[in-house]
Structure formats: C-alpha cells, structure tokens
Structure 1
Amino acid sequence: MDWKLELVFVPVSDVDRAKDFYVNKVGFNADFDERPMDGIRFVQLTPRGSACSICIGEGLTDAPPGSAPNLQIVVSDIHAAHDHLKNNGVDVSDVDVQAWGHFVYFADPDGNKWAVQYIPGRES
C-alpha cells in the first residue's frame, strides 16, 4: 500500500493576499477555492508538476499565521527558479550552493518559510 503526502496546510492571515502571492508570484496552480459551509473557505494550490498541494483558507486550522514548518520544493533548475521568483517580485535569497544541493529561500507574506532545492545529479 502506498502512503502519499498530498496536502499540507499553510496558515495565513489573509487568504486572498496569500492566494495572489502563491499563484501570481510563485507560480502555483489554483486548483480549488470554495466555501463548503459557513466559516470554512478551502483553497488548494499546487506547484507545477507536484503531486502534493498546499491548502490555505478560513476555519481550517488553529495554527497561527506564518507558523508552517520550513517547506521545501525541488526543481530541476535552481537559477531558473531564482529568476522566476525574483522577476515576480518575491524577496528571494541568492543561490546557496551546498554539497547536498543548491538552494534559494523565500517567505510568503505571513512569514511561512520556503526552501527551493536543486539536487545535482538527480534526474528530474
């Protein structure tokens, strides 16, 4: 039996601002944005090519905004990822070259921290 991680909750203070950031600046796909009942808004966003999505919304978690643990995305071209983020107005770090990968770092408007990693020698 496979156990697949498919959804990670990311606590935010302003759903519309966060959705705009992830879709228009980072480049995630907006898969779902619904209010299934009073007090609940469920927004699912997925990085291109990923089997795992993030969820933001209202009434979904008691976690304070900005408290998501460090989240990580793996890409096949760290320089293209860096340029994409920077060109879209994301405050992104320079490329950090480590023995186990090349990284760039950014945070969403609430301070949820992200690492983007390129793993040398790994096929995409």
Structure 2
Amino acid sequence: MNEQEQQAASPAAASPIKNKIGSVFIPVSDIEKARDWYCSLLGLTTDCEIMNGHLCPLPMDGAGVILDTMPMWGGKEPGGAPAIQTPAFMFLTNDLAASYAYAQEKGIEIVTDIQFDHWFVIKDPDQNKLMICRE
C-alpha cells in the first residue's frame, strides 16, 4: 500500500489534532465565587490563581478544568455566558453514595438522584449541570 492509500485507509492518523483533551472550560459569572465553590466541591485549597481577571485553572488529575467568565463568548452580556445544560464531562468518585451525601450536606442543588447505581447530576451556582460518576 502506498502512502496515499494508507492515508485514505486511516484518515485519523493524518490529523495533526491529538485525540487528547487538555482542559474543559466551565462558564461562570463570578470568578472568585466560582473558584471557592469548585475548590470546596473538589476538596482543593482556594489559592488557585485567577489569570487575566477571568480564568481560573483548577489543579486536577487528568484533563484540566478552567473556570472562565467567558468575556469573548457571551460573558459581557447581561446574563453572562450560557450555562452548560447537558453535562459535558464527569467528575469521578470511588464512593457514589458518599459523594451524593456530601453534595446534600453542602446544600448543592441536586438535579437527579443516583441513576443506575452509577451517576448523578448537580448544578453549580451558575446553573451548569455537572455529572458525578462512579469510577
């Protein structure tokens, strides 16, 4: 098989885009409040740096999470950037029941009960839907 035939047979191999997620952006309206809420949810210290007045990368294992007021993507509008209405990613847990109880204790808005003994969904203060899933 020549090079052109190989590329036609395997177009993904020719892509310069990696099959790897670097970070996930979460739209927030108040970067300091969001940083504190997410740090509390994830058991992190709240000394995460806020960059350029609108970005806050959280220290994560695996793919990153960046809180962003999204000035370029609707953050300057009166209602701010639109919230994530369908969970776009999941936070993992080794203890689903304890995670659910933790969310309840913290007064976090819970969207679903535990589903199929595998996951549940919560909302952050900006109404973004976030999935918590058994690892």
Structure 1's unaligned 5+ residue stretches are 119-123
The residue aligned with 1:12 is: 28
| 1: CA distance, partners of 2:72 / 2:47 | 19
Does residue 1:43 correspond to 2:61, yes or no?
A: no
The verdict on how the C-alpha distance between 1:58 and 1:117 changes in structure 2, with shifts beyond 3 A counting, is closer
**In proportion to residue count, which structure has more strand?**
1
Q: Aligned with 1:34: secondary structure?
A: coil
The residue aligned with 1:95 is: 114
The structural deviation recorded for 1:89 is: 2.0
Moved segments of 4+, more than 6 Å: none
Relative CO higher for 1 or 2, CA cutoff 8 Å, sep ≥ 6?
A: 1
The structural deviation recorded for 1:58 is: 4.1
The residue aligned with 1:116 is: 132
Give 1:45-64 correspondences, 5 Å limit. 45-47=58-60, 50-58=61-69, 61-63=72-74, 64=81
The structural deviation recorded for 1:90 is: 1.1
Query: Percent of aligned pairs with the same residue?
Result: 21
Q: Aligned with 1:95: secondary structure?
A: coil
The residue aligned with 2:97 is: 79
8 Å CA contact 1:8–1:52 kept in 2: the answer is yes
Structure 2's unaligned 5+ residue stretches are 1-12, 75-80
The verdict on how the C-alpha distance between 1:28 and 1:68 changes in structure 2, with shifts beyond 3 A counting, is farther
Post-superposition Cα deviations, 1:58-87, rounded to whole Å, max 9, x if no partner, equal 456405241365131222211111122222
So what's the TM-score if we normalise by structure 2? 0.65
> What is the count of residue pairs matched by the alignment?
110
Larger radius of gyration: 2
So what's the TM-score if we normalise by structure 1? 0.69
